[in-house]
Chains A and B, each alone.
Chain A
Amino acid sequence: MSSFIERPRFTCALGGAMATVTALPRTVAILHAPSGCAGNNAWTQAGGCGLQVGGYCGGLSIPGSNIQEKEVVFGGIERLGEQINNTLKVMDGDLYVVLTSCVTDIIGDDVASVVRPLKEQGIDIIHAETGGFKGNSYLGYELVLESLLETYIAKAETVKGSVNVWGIAPYFDVFWRGNLAGVRTLLEKLGLTVNTFFTVDDSLEAIRQAGSAELNIVVSDVIGQKAAKISREVHGIPYVISTLPVGPSASNDFLRTVGAALSLDQAFVEEIIAQENRRYYQLLEPITDCFNDMDLQRYAAVIGDSNYAVAITRFLVDDLGWLPEVVAITDVLEEKEQSTIVASFTSLTSGIAPKIIFNGDSTAISRQVKEHWESRQGKSGKYSNPLTPAFVVGSSLDRPLAFDLGAAHLSVSFPVANRAVIDRGYTGYSGGLRLIEDLISTIIINR
């Protein structure tokens, strides 16, 4: 393993936790941290999250103890106590989440000792130890979920047909709002009541009831599984795991997986799937002429976190009929997780087997992709068969690679510096259509 990570495509656990808390309805984070952690995250979001910063109480509005050297020496608990008490007066929240930082985790401040008595007084306040050195922003998402599941969401009687969805980390999946909404739309087709926690259509009342779900659904091969395991222990709710469902093929599988897990009538599920495919291809139909006339099939390099790299590659192969040659997965994965990902590529139709790279380092990815492209350069001379025309689906850090390959480029995975994102999403059947619009619009921008 390298002794450094080049331009990490995520931030730290605290950053991920902050983003997650600010995405919860009417929730206020309280940082037990030095003064810069919220600003660091705000600048990260402004540059990497499709211009989305903040939320109800995000950006530089997040309250914090702003500890200094004095607290490092003498402990920061007193300052935190004062900060929390005044936060309850100044801020208007329905839930408060205390998040710790590198500094306060290392000096060993006992945050639980401050939070517990307030909780006992009936104040909705929880905490998570999210020191940045513990891991990356995906871990921060998990740690907040863990805290919610263990200390905020009680076990409750099962409500049939209600499900929770995890696996999409707010902001660090730049299209999180749209992606969560897309998954919800899919599940609602099956007649389910869906709790996605973080969209504008979610509420704390509903989140509090999450312990009554019949099933927890994780739409990621890596993220959110810990939450599902905790909920199985705490609330007794079973879970299923699916790859992020982007486009029709993956959505078909997703609906079948969930249908089976909930023992829904198979014919009913298949009817929904047929309806949705009819609709998808009817919508796609008018573009068929130009798609073919303009020869819009591409070789592709797909670069992104495990959610995106797998889901987009599958969409490109199975739905759009493109030719992904290299897939780079940029989050830090354990060996077991890596083999799950590798296995998921073996089921692609057309027998296409892209080269898979596990690396988050832009320069290294670029080098390996270019090596692959060169190795396929074909014979020199009049008749050669290089990997053109090409497309790089990645992050904004992959623009130099696309330039070198002479390829078109679309930023999808964090950091997305060069797109404005509000509620666009790529999940579900309609998400596939959005992705086609974005890919092709990029190719024809100078038309």
Chain B
Amino acid sequence: MSNFDQKEPPRREHRLNACIACGGTLADMANRKMKCCVPDGERSFTQNSICLLLPALGMMNSIPNSVVLMHGAVGCGSSAHGGNAGVRAGNVHRWGTAKDGVWLSTALDERDVICGGEEKLEEAIREVDRRYSPTIIFVVAGCVPGIIGDDIDGVAERLQSVVAAKLLPVHCEGFKTKIWATAYDAVYHALGRVMLQDTAENLALEKPKKPTINLMNVSSMGRIDEVELERLLTSLGLDVNIFPVFAKPEKMYSVTHADLSISTCPTHDDYLLTYLKEKYNIPYIIKHMPIGIGNTGEWLRNVAEFFGLQNQVEELIAAEEAELKKALEEFKPLFSGKKVFVSAGEFRALSTAILLAELGFEVVAVRSYHHDEFADEEYEKLAKITVKDFPLSIANCQPFEEANLIRRVKPDIFLGHMNGNSTAAKLGVATNAIYNVGLQFVGYQGAYQLARRLHRQLTNPNFNQNISKWVNLPYSQEWYEQDPFTHIKNGEVEGQ
């Protein structure tokens, strides 16, 4: 039975043995055949971070003519105030006008916790359908319904026949998974179950005339990055269908018409790609991330090989690399030997670390937000391109470990994810965003633009250096004297 026949997708710690608690070095990882932390451990001290709801909202709020109906306490969903800048910019870059994402909260209160919130949710769905006439209502469960037992699937099923919008229940109960990448599965699950069905209107959709490729984007790329990949793929004569962010609901089913699907980040997409393969026989590639010079080439080669375009792709890569490498020359003297610490979602962290090594940086530490099997090969690539061994941390943020590590490895520059650069900044290290949908990271152009930004930062890191002189991090001296991974308790194999 397919996972898509279940109400909820399985959590990634079960489905992929994904884990979040490990500290060691890159060599340790290689010696353990990349099984650094299976079974996963726990930390005896942890910092709070995010849950799957946040990235899931980022995806859902992008969908045109959709409304997110958050079933939860009034705070769940407020991260969308932060995500809204990306929604507005995404609309501007695609259709020329700024548009806010619409999300609503059933704002469950004490009474609902005791009496149940299904009735309120039913009423809300009817009213949302009337007031906003959306094509899609994402009915999203936060932690509270998960504990009090509200059945969002049951409610959606009961109401589907009486509302015009398509109802997509999405499970984002934060306490149920510690791997927030489960977010992508949660949204893909809902899209697959409702939007990718063989309805009459879907079957009437026109099929593409040219070879077409599904380019998967769960919001880790802004439009500017999509444009770069479109440029490269169309130069090979392929049409590109981007899915799922900013995909118009009425056209979503087109994803089932492509000749091939390609992931832009193997952390994200296996759940849907497997479904498209099983149900619609669409082959897929989930191997490299097109960040970095070598990786962009490998990513393109995989696509070209599938379509029998080996000669064209080699020409394309050779021309692109020659042009890029020449352009990068002016930055390289400043980069040479500079130490860099990289932190992000696993695949992004590794691909970016490889790119930085290509640019002449010395990678001195990597933190991946979690670990699963898709990244095994990426660690091998990184081990090949880096000279010295260095600390490797698998952590869902945990800036206390990072602060400790930074003081040991003393990087010149730190690349971190959203709300993940301030620790390094307060230690006086130059920083730059490893992810921001307004900036360019992907493909050859992305490599160049990242190099430009790093060059800029390294030329004048005064902002962070000044802050560090006057602002302290909230950690004790005692903590800095301990091993950064002291609080990791190794996992125990079940039955032992």
* A residues whose Cβ falls under 8 Å from a Cβ of B: 2-8, 10-15, 28, 31, 33-48, 53-54, 56-57, 59-69, 71-72, 82-83, 86-87, 89-93, 101-103, 106-107, 131-137, 363, 397, 399-400, 415, 417
Interface string of B124-160 (1 = CB under 8 A from A): 1001100110000000001110011000000000000
Question: Chain B residue with minimal CB distance to A414?
Answer: B81
| With contact pairs A11-B75, A40-B50, A106-B148 given, residues A89 and B106 touching in the complex (Cβ less than 8 Å) | no
- Cβ of A103: which chain B residues have Cβ within 8 Å of it? 143-144, 147, 175
Partner of B48, one of A31, A43, A48: A31
Which B residues lie at the A interface, using CB under 8 A? 43-54, 69, 72-85, 98, 100, 102-110, 112-113, 120-121, 123-124, 127-128, 131-132, 142-144, 147-148, 174-176, 178, 180, 396-397, 399-400, 418-420, 422-423, 472-479, 487
- A133-B112, A363-B132 known, 5 other contacts, Cβ within 8 Å: A6-B102, A39-B54, A83-B46, A90-B478, A363-B131
B369 to chain A, nearest CB (A): 11
Cβ–Cβ contact A90 & B475, under 8 A: yes
- Of the candidates A44, A60, A135, the one whose C-beta lies within 8 Å of that of B47 is A60
Q: Specify which chain A residues have a CB less than 8 angstroms from the CB of B45 in the assembled complex.
A: 63, 82-83, 86-87, 89-90
Q: Is the CB of A38 within 8 A of B47?
A: yes
Q: Assess the B75–A15 pair: CB atoms within 8 A.
A: yes
* Bound Cα distance A397, B85 (Å): 11
18 intermolecular pairs with C-beta atoms under 8 Å apart: A3-B123, A4-B104, A4-B107, A5-B105, A12-B74, A36-B48, A40-B76, A40-B79, A53-B422, A56-B474, A62-B48, A90-B487, A91-B475, A92-B476, A102-B72, A103-B144, A131-B73, A399-B100
The residue in chain B whose Cβ has the minimal distance to the Cβ of A361 is B104
Flag if B127 contacts A4 (CB, 8 Å). yes
Whether the pair A44, B105 counts as a contact (CB closer than 8 A) is no
Q: What is the CB-to-nearest-CB distance from B46 to chain A, in angstroms, rounded to a whole number?
A: 5
Interchain nearest-CB distance for B429 vs A (Å): 16
Q: Are B48 and A47 in contact (CB under 8 A)?
A: no
Q: Which 5 A-B pairs have the closest CB atoms?
A: A36-B51, A12-B75, A39-B50, A47-B82, A132-B73
The smallest C-beta distance from B50 to any residue of chain A, in angstroms, reads 3
List residues of chain A with CB within 8 A of the CB of B109. 133-135
Residues of A within 8 A of B76 (CB): 12, 40, 132
Check B47–A89 contact: CB distance below 8 A. no
Known contacts A28-B474, A133-B109; A48/B82 CB under 8 A? yes
A residues near B127, Cβ cutoff 8 Å: 2-4
Task: Provide the residues of chain B in CB contact with A60, threshold 8 Å.
Answer: 47-50, 397, 399, 419-420
The reply to whether B83 and A43 contact each other, CB–CB distance below 8 Å, is yes
Q: Closest Cβ of chain B: how far from A56's Cβ, in Å?
A: 6
Q: Which of B46, B104, B132, B396 contacts A63 (CB 8 A)?
A: B46
Residue of B nearest to A27 (CB): B474
User: In the complex the two chains form, is A7's CB within 8 Å of B75's CB?
Assistant: no
> Could you say which residues of chain A place their CB within 8 Å of the CB of B98?
399
Once bound together, how far apart are the Cα atoms of A403 and B332, in whole Å? 47
Chain A residues with Cβ under 8 A from B69's Cβ?
4
Of all chain B residues, the one with the shortest Cβ separation from A139 is B74
User: Measured between alpha carbons, how far is A83 from B487 in the docked complex, in Å?
Assistant: 11
Residues of B near A86 (CB, < 8 A) are 44-45, 487
Most-contacted residue by chain B among A60, A65, A89 (CB, 10 A): A60
User: Is A72 touching B78 in the complex (CB atoms < 8 A)?
Assistant: no
Given known A7-B80, A34-B175, contact A40–B75 (CB-CB < 8 A): yes
A34 to chain B, nearest CB (A): 4
Which residues of the partner chain B approach A71 to less than 8 Å between Cβ atoms? Answer: 175
